[in-house]
Structure 1
């Protein structure tokens, strides 16, 4: 029955967290402490439930031990009273003892109608919770933890026996508590006995014999009791050593040597067997510990080794164990001894389990943060552990302790270490904490007065630039680097500023470089060769990086004018000079190449979009019809010389003076080509007119032109041209034939334009004296066909209205027709080729079309 009770209490390790709402409200512990979730169980029969909590006033983390009285309801009244008395006595005794390896009580025992409760330092678990096959893997103990924990128990027991003169009497897995820092602490002083003076002066501990009439949970556990208690009724510190041996066996094998429950007679038989050195199998025990363990389990108390002797065995000579043991006694060392230890710690930390580093080593290290001279020795170890931690572990266990250190600038090694591990800090620290703590550390490093720190910060900054927010880089980091470069008097700092900026260029965008970085280079007044070469490096990176690429305009206006004076600075070596010149040449080459390509593209676009004028079109068409123009020179039309060459109406027309000697078609073609090549009085326009407008203009402006001064050489267009209307006749003139001529007087008296494009009041009157053969006429100088024939009689020039061939009316064939001017010798005989009736109808239709056009449309076409 008793065994079932014990097993039931063992099973509470895995039970659901109980609700404290009906247990603790009446307990005074709840006034000062906030109770959270249950973490473990401890004490005799694991009756104490341990909860996480914190003190309401200071937020200090604690563990709250709670015993619920309702658990005793199944027992008899006498047993309940004895059990409660045992629990009260154990906590009271624990409160009196102060030692690093004895559980520390933060708040004494408080009792209410429903519970007993007290508060202690934060607790991880009891040893019974982490020993055995049913323990979760994340709670199983590492070998180094077991060895270090046993050493801690040795120290705690040594203090009890030698200093406090107390025998624990119940050393077992339930009464060993592991705190948050994974230190093993003595607990469960329910059955402890203090020494009493004897007659001979020796220490004496009275023995209380085991009684079957008392509840099993109200007496020490028989599984851990020494055999001399049952056989000889002797109780001594060596009895605790036997219990310690059973504990070691239980840790490695998962259970004690033998289970007795409340069967005291069975325990006595077992004690007799131990007198004969009959031990169970120890296959699970490490080989270097077996002999010492058998010595601890020796039936004779005098044959058991002392605690200080056990510390010297090989089992405890592990490097990790020694490291953890040194940390336990760290408060006894001076700064010189501590510094030596901390220097070697980075080689040991990687060899230890991460949980050991995080929970056993780190707490001792962060305590040194209050010792300013030791921070440079401790901080690398803390950051090494952080490097092995997850972000959650880092935030919970490390970041809180680093925040005050971020603000320190003395000793300067602190900033040095942080700069070297800045990538780690930025990776693990949450974004909000980075803005609040890490980046200000970076800014302080750039703004400090020590060049060593400034140079170090500038050197390591580019290595983690991709982890810095872009806005912080643009608005905080870059401006501080620029300010430091401009204000520092140290050339090395200036050079490092420029080198740092050069390395940061790849993480910046094009516009930030163009707007902030390149103009900043012009502000640097120093001209030391090292600074100049750093500037050249920035320009080189900015020019060659495809993402940043300096434009040709920036190079032409800003870069090259700034770089040229640097070539002639004193102190440059030939290699440095060559580097600067090579960069300038490269920039100039790029400017030249890009500008040439741009101009060629613009020229091509302008050529493709430029409109063709009438002379170009005529030259092209005439070249096509060269074979059929053999005799056309004799039939060239001519007009009087009285037409002003600067008239708006004729600004786009060609002027061909008549010549008596142009009898060959080749001479006519030569004259027309010459006129085209000289670009004389072209028609220029920006957009092609509509076909109907152009057709009307052709048929109205090219009909019936005649030469009044030379009736015998009246103008007759070729078969490819439409009927011509004389624009110089009055509206009332009766023009019925293209061959009809007019006298000079009639032509002069009726000086009105039939072309609506030319306003009559704007036309100048022709010269009255047209009969004179004066070769010094004002238009002679403008005659492109007069050539050197000065002996020819002065005649009025013939105005040829030349239009693109594709816009001819349907009544007559244009220049673009296949017939294209059969012969210039037949130009005076146009009438037989075109019926007179059809010509008159065509003329009437053209005049009608012309009248319907607005003056603005026609002017738009000609302009």
Structure 2
């Protein structure tokens, strides 16, 4: 019998593919979804999504081949399907409800991958799942707005940053403007209706930006205008405990036209109502509607909504917020209209934050004028706004050599309020290029603040970046820079290996002492040699 080589090759290829798929499946069942193989989990930072079902973890690449250079630290989202299934069974819910909920999660993850906009959470690695878990990777996050408001469901241990956390009105204003811009993009460019704007679906990034997630219930504008839209939403008249497997958007933040009719009308105005409820919750520090999934209680709240409900809302926002929350969807403003409210327009500090948002696109003259004004204004900002709203754009601007002398003092001053971990994550990466190239007045400024940098930097950064900075300072011809470098040498030496000090610092200090003609420089060289670790000099 003759052997058909083509048929044999095809059969072998199919067999190899089956074996490879079997091996991959087996590995996945043992090790978990791909993000859990590629990234090393650090700490749980929050929870998000429908029912806060997603656990959010800070993480770093587990291997060099998967290292995301854009984000040294990422956020890994994990949904424990096994735990969810066990909880569902204990609650007496159906397997069909569990499957439907997981489909909502998959739809959300799929939308996130396809949507590319600065106001939408950026996906680094798409959703992967096995029978026990789902996982995906996004840009680094701080937490969900729900977590920031004190809802810490699905958090094993509350991070210290969330304990007793309070957001200032300025931070809330800035976040609301960012969400309004994201909604404007969804409605007018992506042609989507989100349908589930709520605290659990708004994420705060590690740099303080507010972004949209939770697209599991989203509809295209074509779907929203079709008869099929009505089949998406079913709210029972009486209490329904669906916090475990929410198959509808959160009722407290849902527009009445999706609730009160058997044929709901879905449009962009639905998102505006939900957005108004979110704004009310953030500013009044209480929900506008708290109906416990009871539709009759929900409708009663809206029917008897009085002006008294807005007594804790700033007067300049009340008219706009009342329009957003109107039961008549035709009266609601667009997301872009909302950004023109006097509540935002009349706040000079908010205008400063908005300039910082778009500073990279401004010319140096505009930046210089703005930063002069900011230097007088920034003391009015609270510490959270400084660290999460002001510092990140300033750090990004450090790449601009022309603006460095103006921006660097601000960055270093704000950095004083950071702990070591925050400094390592957000500030030192922006400072490293400056440390390696600084000269003249910039070098002098950095050396003056070297103790701050030394005390907040890792051993790796001390050796790779701070030590070379001081070595260059010793060799500079400006006695002011030499003096400052010598004053900081003892602080750095305490953090370094003795052998490294002998090889990298002592010879240069010794050489500087022999060649300088400046008495103060000579004195500081001798003082370093006779310091508490002066035995270096003897062995040298």
Q: TM-score, normalised by structure 2?
A: 0.76
Does the C-alpha gap of structure 1 residues 106 and 170 become closer, same or farther in structure 2, counting only changes over 3 Å?
A: same
Q: 1:437-495 CA distances to partner (integer Å, 9 max, x unpaired)? A: 435323323424xx5xx143146457657757598886533531542x4xxxxxxxx5x
Select which of 365, 378, 386 maps to 2:415: 386
Which is further off, 250-259 or 75-84? Answer: 250-259
Q: How does 1:469-480 map to 2 (within 5 A)?
A: 475-477=507-509, 479-480=511-512
Q: Specify the alignment match of 1:548 in structure 2.
A: none
Query: What corresponds to 1:810 in structure 2?
Result: none
Q: Is the 8 A contact 1:194 1:205 kept in 2?
A: no
Offset of 1:253 from its aligned partner? 4.1
323-332 or 387-396: bigger deviation: 387-396
Q: Residue in 1 aligned with 2:75? A: 63
Which residue number corresponds to residue 12 of structure 2? none
Report the alpha carbon displacement of residue 172 of structure 1 after superposing the two structures with TM.
Answer: 0.8
Alignment match, 1:351? 380
Aligned residue runs from structure 1 range 767-846, under 5 A: none
Find the partner of 1:239 among 262, 270, 289. Answer: 270
- Counterpart of 1:457 (choices 454, 478, 481) is 481
Q: For residues 139 and 482 of structure 2, what CA distance do their matches in structure 1 show?
A: 45
After TM superposition, give the deviation of residue 159 of structure 1 in Å. Answer: 0.7
TM-superposed deviation, 1:236: 1.6
Q: What does residue 55 of structure 2 align with?
A: 49
Distance 2:42 2:230 in 1: 39
Equivalent residue for 1:295, pick from 304, 323, 332: 323
Aligned position for 1:34: 40
Q: Structure 1 504/258 Cα, relative in aligned 2: closer, same or farther at 3 Å?
A: same
Is 2:133 the counterpart of 1:127? no
Which runs of structure 2 are paired with 1:667-686 in the superposition (5 Å)?
A: none
Cα offset, 1:189, TM superposition: 0.8
1:160 aligns with 2:186: yes
Give the drift of 1:121: 1.1
In structure 2, how many angstroms separate the alpha carbons of the residues matched to 1:105 and 1:431? 31
Does the residue aligned with 1:208 lie in a helix, a strand or coil? helix
What are the residue-to-residue correspondences of 1:307-386 with 2, within 5 Å? 307-316=335-344, 317-386=346-415
Pairing partner for 2:234 from 199, 211, 230: 211
8 Å contact kept, 1:53–1:63: yes
**SS where residue 181 of structure 1 aligns?**
coil
Greater shift in the superposed pair: 112-121 or 328-337: 328-337
Cα shift at 1:319: 3.7
Counterpart of 1:248 in 2: which secondary structure? helix
Q: Is the 8 A contact 2:252 2:293 kept in 1?
A: no
The equivalent of 1:305 in structure 2 is: 333
Q: Does the 8 Å CA contact 1:23/1:115 hold for their aligned counterparts? A: no
How far the C-alpha of 1:22 sits from its partner, in A, is: 12
Query: Offset at 1:169?
Result: 0.8
Q: Deviations over 1:311-348 (max 9, x none)?
A: 23343243432232222223322344334434444334
State the Cα distance separating 1:188 from its structure 2 match: 0.7
For 1:50, what is the secondary structure of its paired residue?
A: strand
Give the Cα–Cα distance (whole angstroms) in 1 for the partners of residues 417 and 319 of structure 2: 37
Equivalent position of 1:571 in the other structure: none
- Does structure 2 retain, via aligned residues, the 8 Å contact 1:330–1:338? yes
Greater shift in the superposed pair: 399-408 or 337-346: 337-346
Contact 2:509 2:525 in 1 (8 A): no
Residues 479 and 521, structure 2, Cα contact 8 Å, conserved in 1? no
Residue 98 of structure 1 corresponds to 116
* Cα distance between partner residues in 1 of 2:301 and 2:460: 65
Seen in structure 2, the aligned counterparts of structure 1 residues 49 and 433 have a Cα distance that, compared at 3 Å, is closer
- The residue that corresponds to 1:263 in the other structure is 294
Give the match for residue 522 of structure 2.
501
Quick one: structure 1 residues 354 and 240, their matched pair in 2 at CA, closer, same or farther if it must change by over 3 Å?
Answer: same
CA contact (8 A) 2:483 2:524 kept: no
- Relative to 1, partners in 2 of residues 1:106 and 1:211: Cα closer, same or farther, differing over 3 Å? same
CA distance in 2, matches of 1:197, 1:126: 28
Answering whether residue 138 of structure 2 is matched by residue 112 of structure 1, we say no
Equivalence for 1:440: 468
Pick from 210, 214, 218: which aligns with 1:192?
218
CA distance in structure 2 between the partners assigned to 1:437 and 1:424 by the alignment:
14
Consecutive unaligned residues of structure 1, counting only runs of 5 or more, are 1-20, 486-493, 511-515, 517-863
Residues 252 and 456 of structure 1: is their aligned pair in 2 closer, same or farther, counting only changes over 3 Å? same
Change in CA separation of 1:387 and 1:141 when aligned onto 2, cut-off 3 Å: same
**1:283 and 1:335 mapped to 2: Cα distance?**
44
- Alignment counterpart, residue 282 of structure 1, candidates 287, 310, 318: 310
Measured in 2, the distance between the counterparts of 1:301 and 1:147 equals 24
Tell me, yes or no, if the aligned pair for 1:69 and 1:114 is still in contact at 8 Å: yes
1:185 shift after superposition: 1.0
Shift in Å, 1:149 = 0.7
Q: Name the CA distance, whole Å, in 2 between partners of 1:166 and 1:460.
A: 58
How far does the alpha carbon of each residue in 1:232-285 deviate from its partner, in whole angstroms, 9 at most, with x for none? 6322212211111111222244442233344334434444x16xx535623443
> Number of residue pairs matched?
468
Decide whether the 8 Å contact of 1:79 with 1:215 is kept in 2: no
CA shift for structure 1 position 170: 0.9
Residue matched to 2:4: none
TM-superposed CA distance for 1:435, in Å, is 6.0
Provide the rounded CA distance (Å) in 2 between the counterparts of 1:283 and 1:24: 56
Q: In 1, are the aligned partners of 2:112 and 2:215 still within 8 Å (CA)? A: yes
Larger radius of gyration: 1
Q: Is the 8 A contact 1:35 1:64 kept in 2?
A: yes
Following superposition, the deviation at residue 48 of structure 1 comes to 1.4
| Backbone CA RMSD of aligned residues | 3.6
Question: Which secondary structure state, in structure 1, belongs to the residue aligned with residue 234 of structure 2?
Answer: coil
C-alpha distance in 2 between matches for 1:151 and 1:347: 24
Structure 1 pair 340–95 and aligned structure 2 pair: CA distance change class (3 A): same
Corresponding residue of 1:406: 435
